[in-house]
A and B are shown apart, each in its own frame.
Chain A
Amino acid sequence: MSLRLRLGLAASLVLALALAANVTANASGLSAPRGQERHCIAQAFKVGTPAPAAAAEPRCFPTFAKAIEAATGGAIQLAPNAGTQELRTAQRIRPSAQYVIGIDYWDANFTGSTFTWWVDNPNGCADGSRYWNNVIPPDWQNNISSASTWQGCNHFVHYEGIYLGGSAIDCTCATMGVMNDKSNSEEWYQ
């Protein structure tokens, strides 16, 4: 086989693998170029209250700004292209009972599609409240690569197993080391 033919075959193989990986990653629409990402939200459950039988049902939006608006009950309005940095300095513009306690990111370094968790307690974790998701919604299981924490929750622990089992990492995390793409349940506390 000539060198040119061999190189051509190798390039074709690499291209095919890349396309296959892209199709798989985009099957859920979560890992996509900026502008095609999905941004989902759900309520985290306070420890001590009856846990629901099923995983939290997420609602998803095409922009981070829309997701934050929904997660905060309309209290925070970000510019359409805003990201996490803008959220850090955003002001609440009207009363609402919903507060963000944590954001999971599909990719490392707080990038990619997001999952924003909110609670109905203005104190978040600051009053000693703890929250958890005993099972992360299916699309996001084993797919989180970074996470940021909010509202007095100094600990945002991501567990490998459901119901807070197995290995874990305590965030805020720009990367997650051996826990990259391994989270299946989460817990927040002060």
Chain B
Amino acid sequence: MTHQQQTQEHQILEERIKHSLDTSAQHLDANTKRRLQEIRRQALNQPRNASWFKTSYWAPAGLALCSLFVVMLTLPYLHKAPTAPVADQTAMLELMSNPDDLDALSDPGFYVWMDEVEKEKDAANAA
């Protein structure tokens, strides 16, 4: 038997099977038909899930929540981080702009004192 003949034979068999199955479904007994109608009615009366519950809505909602979480985590650091260097720079500017303190800048003892203050600061930070 050639491949074409075999394919043709399969098609005929499939058609006959389909026809036989269709007939059996069309000729269900009255009892079964009635039960199926009842089942359908009962199913249609069931409460349905609201459309907002659909999966497609969870993706944007999840993304928004994640963004909010990230912002909440990073916000305190954004405010705190520049505080210390800015304060140091301001103090330095004040020191240099005051004419009385210019004398102090030319005194070597001032630098020894500054060095000690810095060392104390480092020791406090390390602790």
Q: Are A and B co-members of a single complex?
A: no
